Amino acid sequence: MPQSMEYTRAQSANPVMIDLRAISKVYPDGHVALRDLTLSVERGSTVALLGPSGCGKTTTLKLINRLVNPTAGEVWVNGANVDEVDPVTLRRHIGYVVQEAGLFPHLSARANVEVVPRLLDWSESQRCVRTEELFALLGLDLARHGPRFPAELSGGQRQRVGLARAIAADPPILLMDEPFGALDPLTRRRLQIEFKALNARLRKTVVLVTHDVEEAFLLADRVAVLSEGKLVQFATPDEIRRAPASEFVASFLGLLGEGA
């Protein structure tokens, strides 16, 4: 019988928030997305999944909230096997941010932010307080931007609304799939810096998918470098700079010839 999310409180002392144990994923067409991946993400840390297109980054992210299921291995979140947790309940307690924000186009910015609190039966007053708090936190004017539909917002504003929606119910985990990839370079860097400062306050456990080396090194406490579905290095940015685990890692990160 599926567990409730009461385990999020019961297991709060567990230092490991996300634990991927010997994960393999083979899709029905025979494509092998992941090969024996073992990876632990500590509570309150930010881990970047870095690697070329098709290396298994997004599949890894989707395993955490059961958008896909592993062919072999186990996914544990906050001390519980996700196979034993109702998937809808699980996802309501995990924030998810994607490229281009993934906002509902028929809802206003404010209504987008309130989606999960509504599903969780928050009162109107609770929703209002939380929405006002998040718009202020993310540099958005509620009176000006709240009534607008996604098509009426700039790319940077959409990403801010998408982030506000992801953290509206204060989930302990935040999954981010190329969240800043569609933005122009100046807006992307500004939002990266703003997010880093924001999460220093919020202390969410973050798993970030990116193919941008600079973004991974800026935002992450540890970086998991993947190639062809395999984990080839998992270390801090400084450790990877000093000692890339292979010629592939050095080449991908642009470290060859630097004496790293």
| pLDDT single digits (tens) 74-118 | 999 999 999 999 998 898 889 998 876 689 999 999 999 999 999
Annotate 6-33 with b (16+ C-beta within 10 A) or e (fewer).
Answer: ebbeebeebebbbbbbebebeeeeeeeb
Residues 61, 63: Cα–Cα separation, whole Å: 5
Running DSSP on this structure, what letter comes out for residue 160? H
Burial category of 55 from C-beta neighbours within 10 Å (exposed 0-12, middle 13-18, buried 19 and up)? buried
Q: Which two tokens stand for residue 60?
A: 């890894």
- Average pLDDT along the chain: 89
Q: Please tell me the pTM assigned to this model.
A: 0.89
Q: Output the pLDDT for position 5.
A: 43
What are the start-end ranges of the E strands in 78-194? Answer: 80-81, 94-98, 173-177
Q: Output the pLDDT for position 245.
A: 94
Q: Output the pLDDT for position 253.
A: 86
Residue numbers of the chain with a pLDDT score lower than 70:
1-13, 100-101, 255-260
Q: Output the pLDDT for position 181.
A: 79
Whether the Cβ atoms of residue 173 and residue 18 lie closer than 8 Å to each other: yes
Q: Output the pLDDT for position 211.
A: 87
Q: Output the pLDDT for position 40.
A: 97
Per DSSP, the three-state class of 64 is helix
Q: Output the pLDDT for position 3.
A: 40
Q: Output the pLDDT for position 179.
A: 86
Q: Output the pLDDT for position 92.
A: 83
Per DSSP, the three-state class of 256 is coil
Q: Quick count: other Cβ atoms within 10 Å of Cβ 139?
A: 13
